[in-house]
Structure 1
Amino acid sequence: MTREPMYDEESLVALRQQETEALIAALAQYCKSLEQQVVELRHDVNRLTSPGQEKPFPDVHSDLYETFDHLAAYPRFRHLLTELE
């Protein structure tokens, strides 16, 4: 007979918190990857722009960033989101 591991309520809450933090960290990492892809694409578009024509992205990093520090849960997860700042 195999026994299921037993968890108290505090352990279950901590496990859910860890799962939530893992998800947020993975999403932040994915956002950083997408940001890098957009910057590379903008560099490519600028490079392919005809001579004498204005580059479409003079600042390849513009309009990529949004802040979420106005949300109530932000302080709780700030340590996971610092690489996005």
Structure 2
Amino acid sequence: MSIIMLIIFGAAAGFLATRIMDLRTDVPTTIAIGVAGALIGGFVLQFIAMIGGLAFGFVGALVGAIFLIWVWQRYSGRS
């Protein structure tokens, strides 16, 4: 994400977050809160996606291996 987009999203997120949490701050502090929140949230979501991706990859590998064993047993005459 470019720096300009990070600042724009950060400003919007900071504005919404300060209003939701009923915190009155000046514009630079609001932008800083939003940018910091975007960085933290981005890292957390990236970590969750990585863990989920690994788990889904393992499940896919397991299902594929079970299917391959089933096909092998079915068509090779072995039990």
| TM-score of the two chains, using structure 1 as the length reference | 0.46
Q: Report the structure number with the largest CA radius of gyration.
A: 2
Pick the structure with more helix per residue: 2
Between the two structures, name the one with larger relative contact order (CA 8 Å, sep ≥ 6): 1
